[in-house]
Amino acid sequence: MEDSTIAAISTPPGSGGIGVIKISGPCAINIARAIFRPGPRRPPWSGDEGENKEGFKSRRLYYGHIIEPGTDRVIDEVLFVVMRKPFSYTGEDVVEIQAHAGALVLKTILSLLIQEGARLAEPGEFTRRAFLNGRIDLTQAEAVIDIINARSPAAMDMAITQIMGGLKQAVTSLRSALADVLGEIEAAIDFSDDADIPFHPGALADRLEQDVVRHLQTLIRRHEDEDFLREGLKVVIVGGPNVGKSSLMNRLINRERAIVTEIPGTTRDFIEESFIMQGIPIVVTDTAGMHENPDPIERIGIEKAWEHVVSADLILFTMDAGRPVTPADFALFQRLEGKKCILVINKMDLPQAKKLFRLPQKWAAVPKVETSALYNRGIDALKDQMAALAGDVAGDTVHRIVPNLRQKQGLERCLASTRKAAEGLRQAVPLELISIDVREAIEALAEVTGERAGKDVLENIFSRFCIGK
């Protein structure tokens, strides 16, 4: 347990209905009580309504005023709630003050609390304490960020499943399966001379594969298929100059965001926008047209476009149906290998559409959509195709466990060690060595839940929180 008491404004800056100040730590109740005057009824510590002599009843809302100790100046009219340990977010004594949401009012209350002995909370410190006090594991702490950042119902479902311990439970049961196997291996090592104790390495290897490897693979695949729901599917529009990339971007986000002109080379820098499409959060990027003789500014734009392509989940490779495929298009297509891609054949409204345009035979396997960004045609078909390629999210995403990148990497380490152990069992590797692999597999899981996560890992996670969470 921490011995300091921390305080922060937990609601976002700006004016609103109410603003919440949160205090957590061993002196939370005393510090908050020093600036709170309940009323107009008798104070809670007077023994009213069955409260104990020590003061506030846990999780009951009290009405009253914040006053400046010493001067008795009334700062605000508030609601006040105490959550005694361990039944609070942090697992410590917590007080929440619901005040009016003016910036000055909240800051004044906060500074009174600091005067009384609290210190300002660091970003994520409440959640960090919840983690350190064993209220939640690391996967649940990470899910707190996910739920705050969730931009689609699917992302929200995913986050709440994880906050409620979905991944934690999955990892715990994998761990106990591994621990069982380790127990048997250790027993076999200890009693290796005892012929009466049967030991079947093949059966144990089967069990590792059945109970551990299979589940790990499913979880890892979930990350690959659905992690984009967290940050949004990264869609990048690329193609030659003037093919209608910016027009397409504007159609997708349904507003005239990017500049469109008939002059090739209009877009020089990239333009990024977010929107929700069929429940999927999308981050779409429009880029500079790629061609072979760019001027110095275009060249920088094209380099930036490539950076986006590298990290993209999906490419919309846009072409002009009114003219033949160019050598630059061929070069571009080649560099897109291994990327999920949709060929967008735009300007289908032109009278010369598809007269000279021929799609190379080799590209036939890539999904294609014909559009007219100018007349807003084919855009719905394009969105359907994008959704289809986004992954298996159209289905039931409720209660779905989707590990994030850090968690997936831990699961992969666990998978590698488990596989090594299973192989070792089949190939009669000395049991002492196999037990090391199984232990490593267990440790990898302990990193996922945070029991063994390094300081830098924790630092990295909690620094992504806002102050007051």
Ligand X SMILES: Nc1nc2c(ncn2[C@@H]2O[C@H](COP(=O)(O)OP(=O)(O)OP(=O)(O)O)[C@@H](O)[C@H]2O)c(=O)[nH]1
Q: What part of residues 244-303 is at the interface with Mg ion (CB under 5 A)?
A: 245-246, 266-267
Q: What does 167 bind: ligand X, Mg ion, none (CB cut-off 5 to 8 Å by kind)?
A: none
Distance of alpha carbon 39 from alpha carbon 44, whole angstroms: 9
Question: How many CA atoms does the CB half-sphere of 239 hold within 13 Å?
Answer: 28
Determine contact, residues 242/264, Cβ cutoff 8 Å.
yes
Q: How far is the CB of 249 from Mg ion (least distance, A)?
A: 8
Nearest CB to ligand X, comparing residues 281 and 301: 301
Q: What number of chain residues touch ligand X (CB under 6 A)?
A: 22
In the block, which residue shows the tokens 């969730």?
150
Nearest CB to Mg ion, comparing residues 263 and 365: 263
Contacts 24+ apart (CB under 8 A), 201-208: 201/425, 201/426, 201/428, 202/425, 202/426, 204/425, 205/421, 205/422, 205/423, 205/425, 205/426, 207/177, 207/181, 208/177, 208/178, 208/181, 208/418, 208/421, 208/422, 208/425
Q: Which string of x and - marks every residue 372-391 that binds ligand X (by CB under 6 A)?
A: xxx-----------------
Nearest CB to Mg ion, comparing residues 245 and 308: 245
Q: How far is the CB of 352 from ligand X (least distance, A)?
A: 10
Q: How far is the CB of 170 from ligand X (least distance, A)?
A: 45
Residue of the chain from 24, 127, 140, 242 that contacts ligand X (CB under 6 A)? 242
Under the criterion CB under 6 A, does residue 289 sit at the interface with ligand X?
yes
- Backbone dihedral region of 100: left (phi > 0), alpha (psi from -120 to 50 degrees) or beta? beta
Residue of the chain from 24, 152, 247, 385 that contacts ligand X (CB under 6 A)? 247
Q: Which two tokens stand for residue 188?
A: 């076999």
Q: How far is the CB of 266 from ligand X (least distance, A)?
A: 4
Q: How far is the CB of 258 from Mg ion (least distance, A)?
A: 6
Nearest CB to Mg ion, comparing residues 372 and 435: 372
Under the criterion CB under 6 A, does residue 349 sit at the interface with ligand X?
yes
Determine contact, residues 251/379, Cβ cutoff 8 Å.
yes
Distance of alpha carbon 305 from alpha carbon 317, whole angstroms: 12
Q: What is the DSSP string of 362-402?
A: GGTTS-EEE-BTTTTBSHHHHHHHHHHHH-TTSS--TT---
Q: Which two tokens stand for residue 156?
A: 């929200």
Q: What does 241 bind: ligand X, Mg ion, none (CB cut-off 5 to 8 Å by kind)?
A: ligand X
Under the criterion CB under 6 A, does residue 19 sit at the interface with ligand X?
no
CA 386 to chain centre: 21
Q: Which two tokens stand for residue 303?
A: 């380099």
Under the criterion CB under 6 A, does residue 55 sit at the interface with ligand X?
no
In the block, which residue shows the tokens 């059966």?
203
Alpha helix ranges (H) inside 192-235:
201-207, 214-226, 228-231
Alpha helix ranges (H) inside 289-349:
296-311, 327-335
Q: What does 185 bind: ligand X, Mg ion, none (CB cut-off 5 to 8 Å by kind)?
A: none
Nearest CB to ligand X, comparing residues 132 and 350: 350
Q: Which string of x and - marks every residue 257-276 that binds ligand X (by CB under 6 A)?
A: ---xxx-xxxx---------
Q: What does 373 bind: Mg ion, ligand X, none (CB cut-off 5 to 8 Å by kind)?
A: ligand X
Nearest CB to ligand X, comparing residues 350 and 458: 350
Q: What part of residues 419-448 is at the interface with ligand X (CB under 6 A)?
A: none
Under the criterion CB under 5 A, does residue 372 sit at the interface with Mg ion?
no
The 3-state DSSP class for residue 242 equals coil
Q: Which residues make up the interface to Mg ion (CB under 5 A)?
A: 245-246, 266-267
Q: Which residues make up the interface to ligand X (CB under 6 A)?
A: 241-247, 260-262, 264-267, 289, 346-347, 349-350, 372-374
